[in-house]
C-alpha cells in the first residue's frame, strides 16, 4: 500500500508564497502570520532553493569605474629675456664711443677741407 502524501497547501511556506504573490513585503507577511520576519525570510529562501533560484551564484557588486578628471594645462607664456644691466651699459658705452669717433672724423675732415 502506498503512503499518502500530506496536504502541502496549508504549510507555512505555501502561505508565505501566496502572500508574496500578492506583492506583500516579508515584514507585512510576518505581521499577518504573527511570526518573526526571520521565519518569513527563511521560508522565502526555502521556496527559492526549491525552485532553483537560490542555487544561482550571487552577483558581484558592480563598482562604477571612476575616470580621472581631465585637466587641460595651458603652457605658460614664453618669458622674454630680461637684459642684464651690464649688457645695457656696455651697449650704450659702445654706441657712445662709435658716435664720438664719427664726430671726431667729421671734424677732422672739415678742418682739413677749410684749413
Q: How far apart are CA 95 and CA 97, in angstroms?
A: 5
Element (H, E) at 28: helix 26-33
Split into its structural domains, the chain has a count of 1
Q: pLDDT value at position 4?
A: 67
21: containing domain:
12-51
Which grid cell sits at 8? 502541502
| pLDDT tens for each residue of 37-82 | 999 998 888 888 877 765 555 566 666 777 777 877 777 778 777 7
Q: pLDDT value at position 54?
A: 57
Domain assignment present for 115:
no
Dihedral angle of Cα 24, 44, 10, 39, to the nearest 10 degrees: -90
Model confidence, pTM: 0.41
Domain assignment present for 23:
yes
Domain assignment present for 61:
no
Domain assignment present for 24:
yes
Q: Which of 4-13, 74-83, 104-113 has the highest mean pLDDT?
A: 104-113
Q: pLDDT value at position 66?
A: 76
70-91 exposure pattern, b = at least 16 Cβ within 10 A, e = fewer = eeeeeeeeeeeeeeeeeeeeee
Domain assignment present for 42:
yes
**44 DSSP assignment:** H
Domain assignment present for 16:
yes
Amino acid at each position: 500500500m502506498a503512503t499518502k502524501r500530506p496536504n502541502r497547501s496549508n504549510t507555512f511556506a505555501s502561505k508565505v508564497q501566496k502572500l508574496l504573490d500578492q506583492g506583500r513585503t516579508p515584514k507585512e507577511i510576518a505581521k499577518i502570520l504573527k511570526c518573526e520576519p526571520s521565519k518569513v525570510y527563511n521560508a522565502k529562501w526555502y521556496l527559492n532553493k526549491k525552485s532553483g533560484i537560490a542555487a544561482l551564484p550571487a552577483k558581484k557588486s558592480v563598482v562604477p569605474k571612476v575616470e580621472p578628471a581631465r585637466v587641460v594645462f595651458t603652457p605658460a607664456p614664453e618669458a622674454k629675456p630680461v637684459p642684464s644691466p651690464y649688457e645695457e651699459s656696455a651697449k650704450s658705452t659702445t654706441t657712445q664711443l662709435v658716435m664720438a669717433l664719427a664726430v671726431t672724423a667729421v671734424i677732422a675732415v672739415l678742418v682739413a677741407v677749410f684749413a
